[in-house]
A and B are shown apart, each in its own frame.
Chain A
Amino acid sequence: MYQIDDVTKTYQQGRRVVRALRGVSLTIGAGELVAVQGPTGGGKSTLLQMLGGLDRPTSGTVTLDGADLAGMTDAQLTAARAGTIGFVFQTFNLIPTLTALENVETALVPAKVARQTRTSRAQAALDAVGLGDRGDHLPGELSGGQQQRVAIARALVKNPKVLLADEPTGNLDEETRDEIVDLIEGLWKDQGLTIVLVTHDSVVARRAPRRLRIAKGTLKELPSP
């Protein structure tokens, strides 16, 4: 699924040059569930940006299904994100003025599907995360766990090839955290989705069959549990 070769990423932060990734190479097969651990500022988020086509590497290639994300234009990256990559964020990032159902629908807007299809697919996605009856609630009316379920439904409604999750349980209590991890695990098992899960929570990371650790811009494979 992913073929990452010698990827570096440097930022200019004021006068300081930050080398977030220093020659990272990685292969992720289709249907894998990979957890990425590491300290804050070690390069976890930067790696996720490269995988998700949110940013381009300074050097190296990021190949997703044979297409090099590093060489794409903004428009091509946008199209790739719209079609094949689903995101889940630590802070849920739901649109506060839109209902749960409408939030899920926003992911289908770039695909330009008919309104009715869009609504029914969004409803199905909400059903899949167990929130079928909360479609007309605003994010503010939902608990943190419920909001993250809506976000997961939004990520999955377009049937992406990969799901990239950035600290998906970072803002949740333990009980809810387990619910969400169960949900993600279930999706992985049922749908054969490729999932990259960035977390600094070892409990969460240990549930993944493959674990990576990134610190100071360098990637290290951790032994399987």
Chain B
Amino acid sequence: MFFTYLRRELRNRRKQTVVVAIGLAVAIALVIVVNAVSTGVKDAQSEVLESVYGVGTDVTVTQPAAGPGGGPGEGGGPGRFDFGEDDGEASADGMRSLTQDRLDPVMGSATFDSSALDTITDLEHVSGVAATLALQNMSFSGELPDFEALQEGGRVTLRAGPDSSGEASTGDSSFEIEQLTVTGVDPGAAAVGPLTTAELADGRTLEADDEDVAVLDATYAEQQELAVGDTVTVGGEELEIVGTVTSTTGDGVATAADAYVPLATAQRLADLDGQVSDVYVQVDSAENVDAVAGAIEDVLPDASVSTQADLAENVTGTLSTASDLVGTLGTWLGAIVLAAAFGLAILFTVSGVNRRTRELGTLKALGWSRGRVVGQVAGESVVQGLVGGVAGVALGALAVWAVNLAGITLSGGASAGGFVLGGPGGGPPPEGGAAVQDAGAATFGAARPVGVADAANDAVDIVLQAPVSPWIVLAAVGLAVLGGLLAGVFGGRRAARLRPVEALRSLA
């Protein structure tokens, strides 16, 4: 009787059933879409992060720079070229040809002792650790006016391009600054680190006993017209290129650095023995990430410890906009529509009970218990919710399918990236020969921090793929049933309060 009555009631009040079901369906569909898109955006974010920090990295440890030029690689600070009077070769026309290679830690980060690696390895829940040394190689080549000429009032003009290389002229001079990001990696630690998202394009990867060799990012190699077997100059030393790698993230996407060299080689070339700049930590399970990050902060108080969640906040571009949009607007919209749908269901159920006062009173007069009458009313609402939920899942799946079909492209980069050469040095110096130091040494500064990689290469385009998990489907249907249940509770409470005397009311 329960099901017969229920079915008949819902079918008879078809219009109301349809309206409530549609309301719930729209709300459920919205919840599914918001969730799917939000998951898609999160996936995209971690893909962006992976392209920079590698797969499987849960925590990264770096050390912020103490201050300008405060790193251990002293000597004018990174990104600066110092020329003494005896550098280069003077030519007859008062110009001096100069070339210089500088290899320094990337700006904005300092290096720290690799003993941190062992400290972290010993922590609980740490399942993998790899250290890298991120370096910035800048090579200067060109002609500058002779220093005597400069001191006589020659002006120095520096122009900086938006990319990694700078060109400038100082009066009659011309020179080029080329930049190359170099990461020293431990060839033995394959599970974590920046190379986990790289796959071999040509040649071979770094091996445990490698020395003085380099693996290049394929995009960089192409730009520079370099191939396996050629050499690349790092820190003034020519290293043999043994292989090239591409990012697994997507076509044309650059890996984290332009060149990868064995960690020991990087340390030797940069004169940073036993120093590392980044430690990549893998944690045994996701729920321990925060605990491990906390433990690292305890044992290494000076270090800057970032979890994937922290890093996700650094993802920029349309991806970050999408993330914000989904995060705030989507959630609010979902909540509002859901509340409206619940309200609609409750309203219809309660008004339905009011309309059926005499009918339900009659059933009570016939000896139906309060529980049976309430159960009947609540059952109708729950089934209505279920219908709405199933319709909502179908609608939501359709919408998500449409979103995926639309192929929305998001681009994002990690904001740690972004290399700008220039700044104060970009304009004419106020006094004649600001580039000339008292000591007779010219200093050109890259005024802004140099990031992990340059921004132009680092932006990753990712087509939004919004997944629908069985769990969200289950949760969505559950939500709809909850809406029905809520309506049933309100309607049922009203029905429970009905007195059987209502059956005798002659006027409906």
User: Residues of A at under 8 Å CB distance from B?
Assistant: 45, 48-49, 52, 54-55, 74-75, 78-83, 87, 89-91, 93, 95-98, 102, 105-107, 109-110, 154, 166-167, 170
Contact = CB atoms under 8 A, between A and B. Distances in A.
B447 to A, nearest CB: 80
Contacts of A45: 504
A91 B503 CA distance: 9
A93 B5 contact: no
Contact of B503 (A80, A93, A170): A93
B367 interface: yes
A165 to B, nearest CB: 11
A132 B5 CA distance: 21
Contact of B368 (A87, A109, A167): A109
B506 A93 contact: no
- Most chain B Cβ neighbours within 10 Å, of A81, A82, A93, A154: A93
Contact of A93 (B1, B4, B358, B369): B358
Nearest to A171: B506
Interface string B345-376: 00000000000001100111111111010000
A90 B505 CA distance: 9
> What is the size category of the interface that chain B forms with chain A?
20 to 34
Nearest to A82: B367
A81 B367 contact: yes
B12 A96 contact: yes
A102 B366 contact: no
A54 B508 contact: no
26 contacts: A48-B504, A49-B501, A54-B365, A54-B499, A54-B503, A78-B364, A78-B368, A79-B367, A81-B365, A82-B366, A82-B368, A87-B503, A91-B506, A93-B503, A95-B5, A95-B362, A97-B9, A98-B5, A98-B8, A105-B1, A106-B363, A109-B368, A109-B372, A110-B366, A110-B367, A110-B368
A113 B255 CA distance: 75
B261 to A, nearest CB: 80
Query: Could you tell me the dominant secondary structure of chain B's interface residues?
Result: helix
Given A74-B370, A82-B366, A89 B4 contact: no
Contact of B366 (A90, A97, A154, A166): A154
Nearest to A110: B367
Contact of B12 (A83, A97, A167): A97
B242 to A, nearest CB: 81
Contacts, number: 83
Interface of B: 1, 4-5, 8-9, 11-12, 358-359, 362-370, 372, 499-501, 503-504, 506, 508
A78 B370 contact: yes
A106 B499 CA distance: 18
A164 to B, nearest CB: 10
Contacts of A98: 4-5, 8
Contacts of A102: 1, 4-5
B359 A95 contact: yes
A82 B370 CA distance: 12
Given A54-B499, A102-B4, A96 B359 contact: yes
- Most chain B Cβ neighbours within 10 Å, of A45, A55, A90, A97: A97
B362 to A, nearest CB: 4
Contacts of A97: 5, 8-9, 11-12
- Most chain B Cβ neighbours within 10 Å, of A83, A98, A102: A98
Given A96-B12, A97-B8, A167-B506, A54 B366 contact: no
Contacts of B368: 78, 82, 106, 109-110
- Most chain A Cβ neighbours within 10 Å, of B366, B367, B370, B503: B367
A14 to B, nearest CB: 18
